[in-house]
Amino acid sequence: MSNQRSDVRKPRIAVAGATGRVGAALLSSLAADPVDIVALTRDRQSQRLPSGPEIAVIDFDDPSTLSKALQDADRLFLAHGTSEHQVANEIAMIDAAVAVGVSHIVKLSALGPPTRLHPFDWHMRIEAHLANCEVGYTVLRPSCFVDTLARAKGPVASGTWGGTAENGLVNLVDTRDIADVARIVLLDDQFLDSQRAYHLTGPGPVSMPEIADELSRLLDRRVTYTRRSLAEHREVLVSSGASEMVADLLLGLDRIFREGVLAETTMTVPDLTGRKARSAADWLLDNREGFGPTKQTTAA
Ligand SMILES: NC(=O)c1ccc[n+]([C@@H]2O[C@H](COP(=O)([O-])OP(=O)(O)OC[C@H]3O[C@@H](n4cnc5c(N)ncnc54)[C@H](OP(=O)(O)O)[C@@H]3O)[C@@H](O)[C@H]2O)c1
C-alpha cells in the first residue's frame, strides 16, 4: 500500500504574486502540505522570493513565459499588485492557465460595490473575463486589508495622522486569514469545476478614531485621528510623496470608510478555517513597532 501511495503525484500549485503580502502568507500557510509549489515572479533577484519552492520567472510582455511557468500546474493562485497593468496582466495569466489545462484558479479580488473607483473596476473586468472561461475558479473578495494601517505608522509616530474617513466603519481583514482561506480552497479536491466567490472580512467593523483609541491603549499615550477636508488630505498625501494615482486610491479608500461601504461582517473566515477571524486589535498588537514610542520609552 505504501508504495502505491508514493506513486501518487502531488498536486502542483502555481502562486502568482508570491512575493506580495497575501502570496507570501499563502506560501507560509501551505508550507507543511503535501503539494509541489512553483512561485511566479517578474524578478529572479527579488529579495522577497521564498527560499523553499521552485521559482519561475515570468514576463507579462511575453505570454509564452506564462504558459511555460504554468505547465504541469494543477491549480493557480492569482494575486497581482495594484497597477494600471493589472487587468491585462491578470487576463493574460488566466488565459495561459486555461490553455495549459489548470483545473482551478483562485483569484484574489476585492469586496466592494460595482464602481468606477480603482481597483474595484479592474477586478470587475477581470472577474467578467473569468466568468467566460471554461475553468473552475474561486474568487476571493476580501474587505480592506488591515495592513493598510501600516501607512499610518509614520503619521502616528509624528502626531500627524488624519484623513477623511470621519467616524465611518470598515471591517478590516487580516492578510493571514485571506491566505488561510486561499490554502483551504486550493487544497479542496471536491469542487474543482465549481465557480464560486467568497467574501472575507474581519470579526467586526471599526472606525479610524477607534483605531486611534486602540493605539492609545497599546502605546500608553494619546493618539488622535485628525479630520481633514478632501483638499487638505490630498495636499498632505501628494506633499508626502504619493503619486496622483496613489492619492486617488487613498482618497477613494477613505470615502469607502467614511460611507461604511465595507462595514459588513461575513462568517467565511470562521466557517472555512474553524477559528475566529483575526481582529484589527490583534494586528496592531503584532505590528505596533513603527507607530512611535510608548509613554514609558518617551519618559526614559
Ligand atoms: N490592499 C487592500 O486593502 C486590498 C483589499 C482587497 C483586495 N486587494 C487586492 O489585493 C491585490 C494585492 O494583493 P497583495 O497585497 O498580496 O499584492 P502585492 O503585495 O501588492 O503584490 C503582489 C505581487 O504582484 C506582482 N506583480 C506583478 N505585476 C505587477 C505590477 N505590474 N505591479 C505591481 N506588482 C506586480 C509582484 O510580484 P513580483 O515583483 O515578484 O513579480 C508583487 O509582489 C490587489 O489585486 C488588490 O486590489 C487589496
Where in the chain are the domains?
Answer: 2-142+175-200+264-273
The correct answer on CATH 1.10.10.60 for the domain covering 2-142+175-200+264-273 is no
pLDDT in tens, the chain (300 residues): 444 455 678 999 999 999 999 999 999 999 999 999 999 999 999 999 988 899 999 999 999 999 999 999 999 999 999 999 999 999 999 999 999 999 999 999 999 999 998 999 999 999 999 999 999 999 999 999 999 999 999 999 999 999 999 999 999 999 999 999 999 999 999 999 999 999 999 999 999 999 999 999 999 999 999 999 999 999 999 999 999 989 999 999 999 999 999 999 999 999 999 999 999 999 999 999 999 988 756 555
Contact 222 CB / ligand 1 (< 6 Å)? no
Contact 22, 175 (CB under 8 A): yes
Answer left, alpha or beta for residue 220, where phi above 0 means left and psi between -120 and 50 means alpha: left
Strands 195-200 and 136-142: what pairing?
Answer: parallel
- Name the residue with the closest Cα to ligand 1, atom 6: 110
State the distance from the centre of ligand 1 to the C-alpha of 86, rounded, in angstroms: 9
What local confidence, expressed as pLDDT, does residue 106 receive? 98
Residue with cell 468606477: 116
Whole-number Å distance between alpha carbons of 170 and 191:
32
Q: pLDDT value at position 25?
A: 97
Distance 290 CA to ligand 1 centre (A): 23
Q: Is residue 50 lining ligand 1, measured as CB closer than 6 Å?
A: no
Beta carbon of 41 within 6 Å of any ligand 1 atom: yes
Q: Quote the pTM value.
A: 0.94
Q: How far apart are the first and last CA of the chain?
A: 66
State the closest ligand 1 atom to the C-alpha of 25, by its place in the atom list counted from 1. Answer: 16
For ligand 1, atom 8, which residue shows the shortest CA distance? Answer: 110
Distance from Cα 20 to the centre of ligand 1, integer Å = 6
